């Protein structure tokens, strides 16, 4: 099976813009989670989607949002970008009821 | 409340020598514990997991970890380091991985360097 894929791999935006990141989970995986990774804060949970419904949300402002489609693909959107949003955004998928997450390679977002 | 402490932010070993990456956790319940590895510009890969079965857990690439409840530790070891082991390692704790992702806590990471 193909692994978790994320597009784009690299992105450069300016402050105030918005951005959409995409994640395709492993075939058959219905749960998708998003994480933000920065040198200062480490890995932080953003949100989790299961069957098109947001099941959990981390402690991030409302500028961060996401959605999941019927084919389990997920997107996350960040509006009104700030310099501090520069980070590696990781997506992970897992099978229903499984304990192991499989991570994608991430999208490196740079905000100038 | 849950927390994870990785006692060393950076570890450097010579190729062929043992590796020890230390992790201590705090959890209100019986936790699930994981070690993940991240190579440069890559996502995270699961090395091993502990979910209340055997306390000595064997993972991929020769890594293993021992769950010690009395010491609240879950240290990662490998008998002989290889150059390809150079990466960032994350210890992860979860009270209930299946039900609530906001209870998944990642440690700050330990960067492992392997000297030829």
Tens-place pLDDT, residues A35-61: 999 988 888 989 999 999 998 888 899
Q: Is the pLDDT of residue B15 over 90?
A: yes
Q: Does A93 touch chain B (CB under 8 A)?
A: no
What are the residues whose beta carbons fall under 8 Å from the beta carbon of A94, sequence distance 6 or more? A29, A31, A33, A100, A101, A102
Per CB-CB distance under 8 Å, the chain B contacts of A43 are: 90, 106, 109
Q: Does B52 touch chain A (CB under 8 A)?
A: no
pLDDT in tens, B43-69: 899 999 998 778 899 999 999 999 998
Average pLDDT across chain A, whole number: 93
- Determine the pLDDT at residue B59: 94
pLDDT in tens, A1-10: 789 999 999 9
From residue A30, give the alpha-carbon distance in Å to each of A24, A27, B32, B97.
Answer: 10, 8, 22, 15
Give the Cα separation of B17 and B21 in Å (integer).
13
């Amino acid at each position: 099976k193909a692994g978790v894929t994320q597009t784009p791999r690299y992105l450069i935006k300016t402050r105030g813009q918005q951005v959409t990141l995409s994640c395709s989970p492993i075939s058959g995986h219905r749960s998708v989670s998003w994480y933000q990774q920065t040198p200062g804060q480490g890995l932080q949970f953003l949100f989790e989607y299961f069957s098109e419904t947001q099941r959990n949300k981390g402690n991030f402002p409302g500028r961060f949002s996401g959605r999941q489609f019927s084919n389990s693909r997920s997107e996350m959107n960040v509006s009104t970008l700030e310099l501090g949003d520069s980070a590696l955004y990781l997506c992970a998928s897992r099978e229903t009821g499984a304990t192991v997450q499989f991570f994608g390679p991430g999208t490196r977002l740079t905000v100038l | 409340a849950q927390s994870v402490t990785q006692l060393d932010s950076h570890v450097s070993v010579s190729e062929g020598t043992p590796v020890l990456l230390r992790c201590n956790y705090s959890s209100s319940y019986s936790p699930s514990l994981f070690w993940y590895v991240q190579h440069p510009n890559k996502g995270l890969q699961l090395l091993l997991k502990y979910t209340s079965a055997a306390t000595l857990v064997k993972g991929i690439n020769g890594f293993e970890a021992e769950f010690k409840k009395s010491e609240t530790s879950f240290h990662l070891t490998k008998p002989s380091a290889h150059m390809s082991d150079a990466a960032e390692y994350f210890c992860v704790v979860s009270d209930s991985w299946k039900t609530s992702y906001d209870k998944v806590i990642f440690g700050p990471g330990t960067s492992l360097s392997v000297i030829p």
